C-alpha cells in the first residue's frame, strides 16, 4: 500500500496562471491572519517582489531542454533538475515508470521509520525533512525542491528514513515507485551519478543547518528560511503559518512571532492570512545569517555540475 498519501495523479495538468498563494488560498488550507504580525489591520497588498533571482529562469531552460528531448509519448516535461539533466536515453527509459502527482501543503510524503514506497522529484512543490523528538518538538533538517529528490534513503540502500517528509509548498512532483527506482539504479549509471552529486550537496546543506540552529539567532534563521522559500516559490509570495515556521525552525511560536514582527516593522516582509510576501530581498538578506548564501552556492554549483556529471 502506498503510504503517506501524497496527492492525486495529475498527469497532463495544465497550470493555472494564479500565483502559488492564490492557488493554495482557493483550496482553503491556510489559517487566520497572524495578529501580532499584523497589528494595524493592513495586509500590505501589492505587487509581488521579484527583485531577486527566481526559479523561472531555470524553468525556462528546463522547458527548452524538455522540448528538445520530446519523444512521441513524452508528456512529462519534468521541471525537476535531476530528471532534466539525464541523458535522453535514460530519460526515455524512465518515462513509463514516472507519474506526475500533486502534492498538497501539510501532507506527509513519508513517515519516520516507515517503509518508503516511492521517491519524488519535486517540480514546484517543496518538501521538508523534519525530525521529531519524543516530546513532540520538531526541527527541519532539510528542504527539497526542484533541485533534488525526496526519499534519498532509498538511494542510499535504505528502506526507511529517521525523519518524516512534509509538503511545505503545494505543487507537483514526479513520482516513481521505490521498486522501479531501485531497479533503475542497477542499470542507470547517469541517475546514480546525479544522485551521488545531489546527496553530497544535501549533506553539506544539512551540516550547515545543524551549525545554523546552534549558533545563529531566531531572526537570522527566520530571514534565511523566508529567503529560501521566497526563492522556491519563485515570486516573493507564499503561504505559511507561524506555527509551521516555528515547527520547522525548532523555535517557540512566540519567538517566531517576535522576530517576524521586527522584519515586518522594518518593511522587509508582509504577512496576512498566512500569506507571506518578501518586500525587500536584499534587506532581508542582510538580516539573514551566512547560511542562506552558503546553501544557495551549494545548489548553484550542483546545478552547473549536473549535466557534465550525467554525461561522464
Ligand atoms: Zn545560519
Compute how many other C-beta atoms are within 10 angstroms of the C-beta atom of residue 204: 17
Ligand 1 centre from 69 Cα, in Å?
A: 39
Centre of ligand 1 from the C-alpha of residue 213, in Å:
7
209: its cell numbers: 543547518
Q: Cα of 214 to ligand 1 centre, how many Å?
A: 8
**Rounded distance from Cα 16 to ligand 1 centre (Å):** 35
3-state secondary structure of 280: coil
- Burial pattern 264-275, b for ≥16 Cβ within 10 A else e, equals beeebbbbbebb
- Alpha carbon of 215 to ligand 1 centroid (Å): 7
Pick from 123, 171, 168: which is nearest to 19 by CA?
171
Residues 6+ apart with CB under 8 A from 179: none
Quick one: pLDDT at residue 237? Answer: 85
Domains defined along the chain, listed by start: 54-188 (2.60.120.10)
Q: List C-alpha distances in Å: 151 to 103, 116, 203.
A: 15, 7, 14
Question: What are 100's three cell numbers?
Answer: 506526475
Q: Among the residues of the chain, which ranges form H helices?
A: 20-27, 56-69, 81-85, 88-94, 152-155, 178-187, 189-215, 218-233, 242-249, 253-265, 281-287, 291-311
Q: What is the mean pLDDT of each run of 10 residues along the chain (312 residues)?
A: 37 39 39 33 31 36 41 56 92 92 94 93 94 84 94 90 92 95 89 94 93 94 94 86 89 92 95 91 96 93 88 79
Indicate left, alpha or beta for 239 from its phi (over 0: left) and psi (-120 to 50: alpha).
beta
CA of 48 to the centre of ligand 1 (A): 26
pLDDT at 312: 77
> What does the pLDDT read at residue 161?
86
Task: Write phi, then psi, for 127 (nearest 5 degrees).
Answer: -120, 140
Helix (H, G, I), strand (E, B) or coil at 290: coil
Cα(259) to centroid of ligand 1, in Å?
15
Amino acid at each position: 500500500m502506498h503510504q503517506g498519501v501524497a496527492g492525486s495523479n495529475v498527469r497532463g495538468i495544465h497550470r493555472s496562471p494564479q500565483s502559488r498563494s492564490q492557488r493554495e488560498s482557493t483550496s482553503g488550507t491556510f489559517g487566520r491572519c497572524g495578529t501580532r504580525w499584523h497589528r494595524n489591520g493592513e495586509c500590505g497588498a501589492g505587487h509581488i517582489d521579484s527583485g531577486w533571482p527566481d526559479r523561472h529562469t531555470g524553468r525556462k531552460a528546463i522547458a527548452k531542454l524538455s522540448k528538445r528531448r520530446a519523444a512521441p509519448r513524452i508528456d512529462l516535461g519534468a521541471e525537476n533538475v535531476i530528471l532534466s539533466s539525464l541523458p535522453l536515453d535514460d530519460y526515455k527509459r524512465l518515462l513509463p515508470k514516472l507519474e506526475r502527482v500533486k502534492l498538497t501543503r501539510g501532507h506527509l510524503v513519508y513517515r519516520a521509520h516507515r517503509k518508503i514506497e516511492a521517491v519524488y522529484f519535486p517540480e514546484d512543490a517543496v518538501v521538508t525533512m523534519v525530525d521529531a523528538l519524543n516530546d513532540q518538538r520538531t526541527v527541519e533538517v532539510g528542504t527539497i525542491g526542484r533541485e533534488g529528490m525526496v526519499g534519498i534513503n532509498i538511494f542510499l540502500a535504505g528502506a526507511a528514513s529517521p525523519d518524516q517528509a512534509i509538503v511545505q509548498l503545494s505543487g507537483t512532483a514526479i513520482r516513481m515507485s521505490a521498486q522501479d527506482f531501485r531497479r533503475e539504479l542497477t542499470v542507470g549509471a547517469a541517475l546514480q551519478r546525479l544522485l551521488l552529486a545531489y546527496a553530497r550537496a544535501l549533506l553539506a546543506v544539512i551540516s550547515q543547518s545543524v551549525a545554523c540552529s546552534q549558533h545563529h539567532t531566531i531572526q537570522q534563521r527566520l530571514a534565511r528560511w523566508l529567503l529560501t522559500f521566497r526563492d522556491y516559490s519563485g515570486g516573493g509570495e507564499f503561504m505559511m503559518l507561524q506555527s509551521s515556521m516555528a515547527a520547522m525552525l525548532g523555535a517557540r511560536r512566540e519567538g517566531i512571532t517576535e522576530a517576524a514582527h521586527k522584519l515586518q516593522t522594518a518593511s522587509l516582509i508582509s504577512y496576512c492570512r498566512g500569506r507571506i510576501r518578501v518586500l525587500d530581498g536584499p534587506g532581508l538578506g542582510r538580516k539573514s545569517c551566512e547560511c542562506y548564501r552558503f546553501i544557495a552556492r551549494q545548489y548553484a554549483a550542483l546545478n552547473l555540475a549536473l549535466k557534465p556529471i550525467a554525461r561522464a
